[in-house]
Structure 1
């Protein structure tokens, strides 16, 4: 018999220790133990939790890795309204704000707290007895979406607070969830490699990430959090600054950039100080928030119908520069997309020297009516990506000629095509366009694909330029060409040994990463994992039709058509065979799941909509494990349409037209053997019963936004 009290004690000790190490590492940049020791502690906790699921703590550190699938986001009413702030771009308005505060406080002494306004997603977190219990988005200010599972993946956010004698038992933390700039840049670089549209700014990226259905994907985005206020039903601290200091003591991340200001002059000094220095921070900012510090004075000043009278946001004007457009270059990406880039006379802008700016596509060039030699205005979109926003027509030469988008590939000369519904022109010469070939090789050896040690983008690009490598399969011929490799400059014996060892090791890379590394358009990491898990081998994928692939969850029609087309090409089939001969992993290892029954043999299903007790992926697996087949389109041969909420009306009408039976989730489950265990629905947490939010003026602790 297991010693349950001892096991529970060990789980609690591991949990406390891991929370402490996470705080030291993510909050204080202190590595108390080697990574290996941390991983061993985490692995021990995971093992104990797997063996004793009834002893798993609510805020276990293992929950940070994500994995929860949320089919919908419930909503919750904010106990304290999340109000918006009045804002201004004028320093004169700040002085007028100060005068209103002075009048409202009838000449009593007062001070301010100045905080950087981080450009992210406003979030309300609830802690009860020191444990994180709920995360809710701003929503409409009164009610927001419950995204607790996704919030738990943020490693800088403590799931369990450090003890404190002054810590309230039940309180809310308001703050900003954001995507660090390096993470944003990495994400956009990956999207560019995959031929996907770039994200406009980190705020949009963070917002979209929080609405992902799979918390494991959220965890991979490396979001961060800064707390900026504490709320309790009654007064707990005398001032906003005291509450910020308390939040830090409890272990919550509070940016150390905030300052007290004894008067409006010190506020303006803070504004001026960060006007340029904010660009040195690893997070996007767009202004300063100024709040009266004393909470009783906040109550005295009160609210307008829309915002507090004791706070205001100063927004920095979007920095713009004026410079000359000298040239337009056209870059060809891995998928053949031709992207125009403006070459500018270098100009300082938002803390950097801008030499180039994105022009997005032909539509943007036409919209701006750009001409070489134009004097243009440049801004940073979301203060991240430089972009041309206009032309100074007053200095345009009379004979300036509009820029003509090329009709042929700037690299290989092939006539460009523009698929219907797409903004980009593309070079269709997939087999002979050098930038495409080189970019696909760089993608194949990249960290998230085969990650070949000793063969980075620069080295494989050099081999390509020398004509030694043209396709990924050629990489596996390099070890046999060692005599040729030793003649190359800057490639010593040790480097060659590392290269050959890295190539050999890449043969053990799992099949999903190999599939991603092939560089099939639209097939990113997640899609590659889904296809690999569903079909288990590259041969099965090659044999599948676009319609069949479209039925795989998170694949869809556009991706399926692109993948099916790729595998139909003789050159790509030859590439697969060469990779097979080289020993690359082209199937999922391990035994395939044993079918539960043949109850659904000969039946085909389309699954559409959102379901109460199962995800679409779970329903698909139940059908397949009982002998049924999944398809992506409705035809006369279809056996059943399984309909959930929010199913498109077109599918329903088509099914009715073909007289295809439309069944519910419950009716599908009735078709299965009674011995087939129905998978339990994922617990996404229950929204609290709606209650009327308290009046804004009733003295709750901290600020309301």
Structure 2
């Protein structure tokens, strides 16, 4: 049944009032700006057609929102009015309709008629329309005494304490000549950089993110704790004045803005005086082109009749001055529906949920995808497939889902869950404890991470393949010539020379011309035709590299030595150390120091790559998070296959050795139970369990009565039982115990007696370029030393690297022996340490 005008009016008013209350009092975005403006225009049209139904409290007659009651009310000496709007939109043909509703033309014509001036002679102050929160600042005797929000135009909220934290707002006016009482109106906003920085921190900490800079400014200014306001960093621009007593202002709006600037108020440098309709449109287009590059959000521009005498003659309507209008840009927020939620894997393995959307035009761009950032953000917003959502696009920022219209959710829409496996390679997706980011654990084998993995593998501190730059890797991977790190060992000189010519060429025609002197005549015509057919294609570089070419390189016409050196560097990297290879694999959290520690303690790649993760924790400085990351990496079949391919390609390790005897202390049931991360199981409780079960198999099979004999508290026992009931956990214990049994016979012979540094205290200072202080500490502690952080008379010796400071000076003052890095390296070599 169709609605009567009265029913439709009531519905529109309710929708608009609910949206305004959510924005002004709860800082929530329930409908987009474009939707709000559309509903308001519908209401205006209905009220114009049915004036008998118009009410004084209609959204078309009131300004902003009512006071929330959380702050004291402030009655404005002069009302803070809203502005009428002139809209533009992007047509289906992509063209800009500058005055979609004809409001701008009507505005100019009315001014010209009422003022008796030619339209082209009208002079305006044109200003950007900031997307923030309007406020009024009251100064008495040049001192800031009160600040208030606009509220409903007549009454706002006293937010003085919060505004005092905004550094742009002067507490004492500068210069001289200001009135005894001066009210300055302007906009509080959150700069894009501050907005993004806040949301980045919130996402990393699992907190609530802000929907957009406008909501961020409104919500921040209504915080009851001024310290929160200060932390969020608001900014301010002045754009008008209110009450003035005991003094006079300039007789034009633009001159008044210059006065305000002189008194210490920030005024936008984009303000400009223009004449006539063409002047307004030229300004509109100029600011529109700058919009995406500005450090703050704007949603349009404002035109104000510049001379104040003309302003007074034009007067006001119910909620807006007749001498000013806002000319709005295409909306940066729109409403659409979620058709699917997919996972995108980044170059570093980060798994980002992306909403696939019904196409919608936002700020002149058709948007079909929007980022959801992470699983926690999806849970906070409760986004589901089929939902109606508000998406936001501002500047170069990737479109994002700002909020969900939950009331429009279709029946049967299910909560979204992060998948278990990477959609690209099938490896496990893992989330680190306490982190919001999920990652693909197929670092070495995942195509999405391929370029990053290869670049890291070839880097100086990894396999040190000097000359293999990122541009080379990009094209080699795109061409399919290198699809895994092992493929680097199949590169040949011809491929590298062709690749260099391609990268030096601006387009495929240039490559063909550079290649021609080196081609044999036989078949060269067909080859050149194949290359030229790629002209204009975005991926021509990768495709050109795969075109077969019969070449005989002319040394006088092409430099080849660099290619020979790169091939030599690739060949040289086949013979490497275990630490370098472990670092080169790109395992999450395994840097140089951790790779060296693993290599020193376990000594053998075949051993390391097949250990259950709890055993890695028996190595100094490797905790549960790092151990799990190593375990996840080696658990992926694709990573193991990549390692097999490297070994098959001739990569060999020069320093394989038996695992250190120091592992023996950590190979038992008690350390295993502690390392496994069982809830509530400390070392003492693990010892209590070990008194009633002899091994991991016995623990897995134990009955409740047997476990209770350990004396563990009831909640801990229940947590242990629940943990063991998960098949993967029980399997982990059994695998780890079996690995310990295999590892024990491999351990190096126990060194009898104390270590050579037993009982000695060593201090490290400065930069140790060859070894690194973390690794030096591991070695020194392995030989019995205590590594301290400060120098005293009890210090045995100090190892001083480059740029050593106060610790070196203290050692010299106390007469403590000082070693340089070369002495330390020589001593470690004497102890049989392979570096």
TM-score (normalizing by structure 2): 0.38
TM-score (normalizing by structure 1): 0.44
Q: Looking at CA atoms only, which structure, 1 or 2, has the larger radius of gyration?
A: 2
Q: Which has the higher contact order (CA 8 A, sep 6+)?
A: 1
